[in-house]
Amino acid sequence: MNIALIAHDKKKDDIVKIAGAYKLILSKHKLYATGTTGKRIMDETGLDIHRFKSGPLGGDQQIGAYISDNKMDLVIFIRDPLTSQAHEPDISALLRLCDVYEIPLATNMGSAEVLLRGLDAGFYQWRDMTRGTDRDTLHF
């Protein structure tokens, strides 16, 4: 699976903790991250990560493009709900794309842990079934 890892500045320590705690699970998948977040995770966990640009410089939009092209399967975006973000429209667009394309999305430590445990248990196999398929034609 392709997994995006994103975190606001005040939440970078949290996403590094999550990545470290779930390193064995994450290492089995293709990881993507926005610039600074990806560097921190790589430096502190040794995980291999494809880095996009920093979020405010277009990284959120690059990940959004992967979502709309059906190239992203899960997004972990540890957000800081108490700090205003200059690129809030980009963030909102990314979250909206996750909903439109039914991409599992974690926005805090608790939901990230649940998604990663579900990933480890094999609960997201439906993503493989729908890749390259018009989801409206599938019946579960």
Does 30 belong to an annotated binding site? no
Q: Is residue 129 part of a domain?
A: no
* pLDDT > 90 fraction of the chain, expressed in percent and rounded: 74
What average pLDDT does this structure show over 30-48?
97
| Single pTM value for the model | 0.88
- 19 part of a folded domain: yes
Residue 31 domain boundaries = 2-80+87-107
29 annotated binding-site participant: no
Tell me the average pLDDT across 109-129.
85
Residue 120 lies in a domain: no
Q: Is 46 annotated as a binding residue?
A: no
Residue 38: inside a domain:
yes
65-115: per-residue pLDDT in tens?
999 999 999 999 999 887 777 778 878 999 999 999 999 999 999 999 999
Q: Which residues are catalytic?
A: 60
DSSP notation for 47-105: --EEE---GGGTHHHHHHHHHHTT---EEEEE--TTS--TTHHHHHHHHHHHHHTT--E
Examine residue 119 and state whether it is found in any structural domain, yes or no.
no
118 part of a folded domain:
no
What H or E segment, with its residue span, contains residue 33? strand 30-33
Is the confidence at residue 128, as pLDDT, over 80? no
Query: How many structural domains comprise the chain?
Result: 1
Domain CATH number, residue 74 = 3.40.50.1380
124 within domain boundaries: no
* Rounded Cα–Cα distance for residues 42 and 87 (Å): 24
Instruction: Indicate whether 103 belongs to any domain.
Output: yes
Residue 137 marked in a binding site: no
